[in-house]
Each structure stands twice: as structure tokens, then as C-alpha cells.
Amino acid sequence: MSRQKLTRLGVELPLLPTSTVGSFPKTPELAEARTKYARKQITRAQLEALEKKATEFWIRAQEEIGLDVLVDGEQYRGDMVAYFAELMGGFQAGGLVRSYGNRYYHKPVIVGEVKWPGPMTVAWWRWTQSLTKKPVKGMLTGPYTVMDWSFNDYYRDRKSACLALAREIRREVEALIEAGARIIQIDEPAISVRQEELPFAIEAMHLTVDGLPAYFITHACYGAFETIYPDMLELPVDNLDLAISNSALDLLKIFEKDPFTKDLSLGVLDVHSHRIETPAEIKARVMRGIRVLPPERVWVDPDCGLKTRTVEESRSKLEAMLTAVRELRTELA
Amino acid sequence: MQLILSSAGSYPRIGDAPDLQRHRRAYAQLERGEISAGEFTTVEDEVVTGVIREQIEAGMEVVTDGLIRWYDPYSHFCRGLEGASINGLLRLFDTNVYFRQPVVKGPIRRKASVILPEYEFARSVSPRPVKPVLTGPYTLARGSILEGGYRSAHELALAYALVLAVEVRELSRAGAQLIQIDEPAIVRHPEDLNVLEAALAVVGRERGAARLLLHLSFGDVAPLYRDLQALPVEALGLDFTYSPKLPALIADLGSVKPLALGLIDARNTKLETKESVFPVLDAVLPALKTGPTYLTPSCGLEFLPRERARLKLETLKRLRDDYLRGRS
């Protein structure tokens, strides 16, 4: 089982390990600095100093809240695909495209062979881990999502682009492991968009992680689950992170038919709502998981990155989550 | 042979150059209360005029207004309906674009025309025919949260059809000759083809002299293709980018309806070449029993940056002209 794998990797975690999906809101000071940097009013070094300050703020916050597996909070990243596309060879910044309403973003374009440029996240991971004794997750975006959220001017088709990306992202995984990361999350929120492409998304994940000594988590959005279960269990990772806070889906019914074979991270906080969930609500959501899987295989986290919430909302939501988990640990002991 | 160049729906409302950012700036000003709704409409008018001009310069012979005034394909129709409200964001099929999901709580009733004023404005500034676009009743129903008023999504689709039929009647009376109905949802739910057929029959009753073009995108239409021929519409618009088998299938089965061939990938920046497009035309065109045939992007162009959208249309024109020249 995966818990034994964690032990082998030297990671000991309590029952119902708690974590977050990756991003935290930028602190107001950093948000302002990013605007100034975009307007060339401050230097890269000045911005980076504030990114580090904000990262440290979030490490302390996670420790105070009592989370078990920490993240760097992605204070130095804008978008989860653009961050990597800006660093990797083979990409160009694309023109603006609309996401919704009046929101636009620069969608990257693959214009040549994609190339790992050397470590992209390792320095941040290493520095963040030096701030805490708790394990910090390595955080990457998976090859399928990077492919799907980019234009492709170069590769013959989507599959070729995806597999090429997988081979390069693997080198980042290797670099994180070499630096000491033992838990690595490779996010694939796009994985459900074209069911017919799931086989090569899985093939890409094999290329990314096979044979590498780490505990791998993949975060997918909940829509994914209904359309690609149980096939998504073929993803070669130890833990699938699924949002259930907003879903009325009956896990029991689904898992009875096709048993869930991995560890399950239950996304129990609605990151798109300002409302702070009560510990009782959160306990009920966790119980939906515990009814269908042994508690040893269940992790607890929000249903997505918290970057769209305020600092205060993020803290309050996570505090409620930890209150719920502590009560459950006592009840289950 | 007549091959008419046409847009398939949306067009990017801004570009990267500062002078193409007017819409975005005005939208932000509107949200901050710095300009009035009327002032924002004036900006929208200018942007519509600009995207129509751009389509015509790129060679399009039938244009759209770029759906510049739509927040998204769902809420644009449902926002003003009695009995419906608008909910949170949901991903639009397999795109990276989000729409606000309608919530239906009671019988829906149209309070005002949605597309007619947009069509009338577009026509007033376009020297070429304008094709109005409607999101179809099945897709609207499939994308709505049903909380009351109807017992099923099937019933809701028929209710939306009644609403859209009035839009179609108004457009037809105003002179629209070709009206596009987008029904991407059916591609992923072919089991509901009978629902779509019933809903389109309701919409079609009001079409008068206008012809209805059913446009399908965001999925492989090949499994549905044979059955599409029996639907109560005058023409079919097909997204070829998901369907490697579609050209051979059309070559084999033919088409009794005029087709709009969505050969240009409106979701990716890579530009098409004669090597990718001519073989499809060679396979498909001899099998078409009636015309005219339209050449279009696979769906609306809003998924691309503005400069690439224009290049795609220019590519479509160049390929059409080269193809016809090669045959003459």
C-alpha cells in the first residue's frame, strides 16, 4: 500500500494526512509588487525578495494551522501552465485569449521541440523545505494539461506534443527527487476534457514517473471523475486528489462497482465560495470517503488551489478543516 | 462549383495591440462604474463594426457579428428570461473557456428580443450578408441546472425551442436568409437525437423564408452523421477537426443537405495547408448533392488570438481560391 511506500521513503504521516492543492493567495504586499514589476517600477530582485517573504509567511501559516504536508504556495507563479511554458524551450508567449467575462490570458504556443531548461522549481522547493521540518510537496503541472492549455504549432498532433512534454517534465521530477523531495504532485486538471485521449494522457504519466522513487499525487477537477472513472485508475500515481465539496456524487455506489485502488485525497473545502465551512460539514464530507475506503488511504485537502480566496478566508477554511480532522482522528482512534 | 467562405460564430473581441484593447478597457470601466451601459454599447458597436470589416478584408462572403455582445453562449440567452437565473462558472466543453450556467426554476418566458437588435446593427454596418447565430435549445437545456418548471431536460429543451422560435421568426422577418443554430451538446449525447429533432422542429416552424444551418462542434460528429440528414434543418455545419473518418464517411454516404465544412481548426494556431485541406475537399465535394457549400472554421474563432483568427480566415480564402484555380 502507498502508506508503506511513504514509510519506505522516510515520510511518517498521521491518520488522515492534511495538505493543500498548491496555490495560496498572493499576500497583498506581493500582489502590489507584481503589478509594479509588470510596470517595470521595481527590479526582479526586489520582486523575488517579496516572493520569498510571502512564501515564508505561508509556510508559517501552514505550520500554525497544523497541516501535515506543506506546499510553497506558488507565490512566484502566475498561471500553472504559463509558468513552465515561459521557462521551457520550444514555447513562445501567445496572444491574448479570453477565459470568461473580461478575463484574458496569454496562451502559450509550442513553436519548436520542447526542452527542459534545467531545474524550474527545485530552488524554490529546496529553500521552502529548509524553512520547515514538515514535508513539502514538489508541485508540477502534468504533460497532458500543459499540452491542452497551449497551442501547438510544432508537433504533428496532440499526442506527440503531450509525450514530448512528458519526457522533459520527467527531468524536473528527477531533479526534485535528487534535491530530496519525497512527495510530488503532478496536476492534471485538463485530463477529463477529451475522454478519447485518456490513454495517451496515462502513457505520458508513465513516461513522467515510472521507476522514480517518490509518492506521486495527481490533482484532477471533479468533472474528470464521472467521465473517466474507472479508467483514470490506470494513472501510475499513488494518490488521486478529487474535489467532492460541491458534488452530490455517491462515491459508495461508484466504488462498489469499480473499487478505488489508490489513496484518495478528498477535496472538502469549496475554494470558489467565500463561506467558511463548519467543521461538522467538513467531517460529513470526509466521512463520505471513509465509508468507502479504509481511513489509512484517505487524505484531506481543499478542492483546488486557494489562490482565488483572501488570505483570511484561506486560513479560516483550513483551520476549520483541521478542527474536523482532529476530531475525526480522535473518534477513529 | 460554389464554395462560399463564411465565419462560424465568435471572433476575438480584443487583440494584443493597444488599439485593439478598447473593448477590454471599456468593460473594466463599466464594471468600475466609470462609464454608462450606453457608452459601453457604443464601444461594442465599434468593435462589431471592426470585426465585420476584418472578416470581409480576410475574404469572408458571409459574416457574423463575432458574438461580441455575448458573455457566453448560455447566459446570453437565459439572462433575460423569466423563470431563469444565472449561476457560477462551468467549463465550456473541452475548451479553456468558462460559461455561466443557467438555473431554471419555473416556466421560462422571453421578455425581450435577444438577437434581433444585434443582427440589425450588424447588417447596418456590413456590406456582406450577416449570419445570425443562436445557441440551440438542446444545448441550452443540457447546460442548464433544472430546479423547477419542467420535469426533464427534454421538456426544458422544448421550452427553450419555443423561446428561440420567436427569435428565429423575428430574424427571418428582418431579412436573415441563413440562421445558424449551434448544438455542440448533441455530439456528446447522440442518444438524445430525438429530443434535438423535436426541439428543432419547434424552432423551424417559425423560420419563414430563412434557412436554418445546424452547426455541430467540440466533438466527433461522424457517429451522428447519417442521422443528421433527417433533421428538420436546411443545412449542416460540421467540425472536421475531431473526425478523422468524417471525409470518407461523407464520400460514402453523400449529403442531401448543403454542408458547411469546418476544415480550419479554430482551436489551434497552426495554419492549414493545401496538403491537409485539399484531400478532404476532393473526397467530400463530389458526394454533395445540393449546394451551396460553405467553407468555415471548425467553430467560432474566439479561442484564438486576434491576429491568428484573421490569419486563419485569410488561409481559408487562399486555400479556396487555390483549390478552385486548380480545378479550372
**Please, what are the domains in chain A?**
2-31+57-80+119-148+155-332 (3.20.20.210)
Residue B85 domain-assigned (yes or no): no
pLDDT of residue A223: 60
Does B71 reach chain A within 8 Å, measured CB to CB?
Answer: yes
Query: What number is the average pLDDT over the span B202-227?
Result: 97
First to last CA, chain B: 10
Per the structure, the count of domains in chain B is 1
Model pLDDT for residues A53-63, shown as the tens digit of each residue: 999 999 999 99
Residue B30's pLDDT band (cuts 50, 70, 90):
very high
Q: Does B312 fall in a domain?
A: yes
d(CA A57, CA B171) in angstroms, rounded, equals: 58
In the predicted structure, residue A244 carries a pLDDT above the cut 80: no
Asked whether the whole model's pTM tops 0.90, one would answer: yes
The answer to whether the CB atoms of A98 and B28 lie below 8 A apart is no
Provide the residue type at A171 as one letter.
R
- Domain of residue B42, residue span: 3-72+111-327
Burial class (CB in 10 A: 0-12, 13-18, 19+), A162: buried
In a domain, B124, yes or no: yes
| Interface residue A107 vs chain B (CB under 8 A) | yes
Catalytic-labelled residue, pool A106, A219, A272, A274 = A272
> Is B78 part of any domain?
no
Supply the DSSP symbol for B286.
G
pLDDT tens digits for range B48-58: 999 999 999 99
**Residue B224 CA to chain centroid, in angstroms?**
19
B103 located within any domain: no
The C-alpha cell 489509512 sits at A296
Alpha-carbon distance of A135 to B58, in angstroms, equals 56
B88 lies in some domain? no
Three cell numbers at A58?
505561508
Per residue in B47-70, is it b (16+ CB within 10 Å) or e — as a string?
Answer: bbbbbbebbeebebbbbbbbbbbb
Taking the CA of residue B24 and the nearest CA in chain A, the distance in Å comes to: 6
Which of A91, A151, A271 would best serve as a mutation to test chain B binding (most B beta carbons within 10 A)?
A151
- B166 falls within a domain: yes
Q: How far is B31 from chain A (nearest CA, A)?
A: 10
Q: What is the pLDDT of residue B49?
A: 98
Which strands sit side by side in the sheet containing B81-91, from one edge to the other?
Answer: B81-91, B98-110, B145-146
Residue B93, in any domain of the structure: no
DSSP symbols for A50-109: HHHHHHHHHHHHHHHHT-SSB--BTTT-SSTTHHHHHHSEEEE---EEEEETTEEEE--E
B322 Cβ contact list (under 8 Å, min separation 6): B274
Please compute the mean of the pLDDT values over residues A67-73 and round it to a whole number.
Answer: 97
Residues 6+ apart with CB under 8 A from B282: none
Q: With bands split at pLDDT 50, 70 and 90, how would you rate the model's confidence at A64?
A: very high
Q: Note which residues in 119-178 of chain B have CB less than 8 A from chain A.
A: none
Q: Which CATH number do you get for residue B51?
A: 3.20.20.210
Residue A247's pLDDT band, with cuts at 50, 70 and 90, is low
Look at B305 and A102 and tell me if their CB atoms are within 8 Å.
Answer: no
Extract the C-alpha cell encoding B128: 456582406
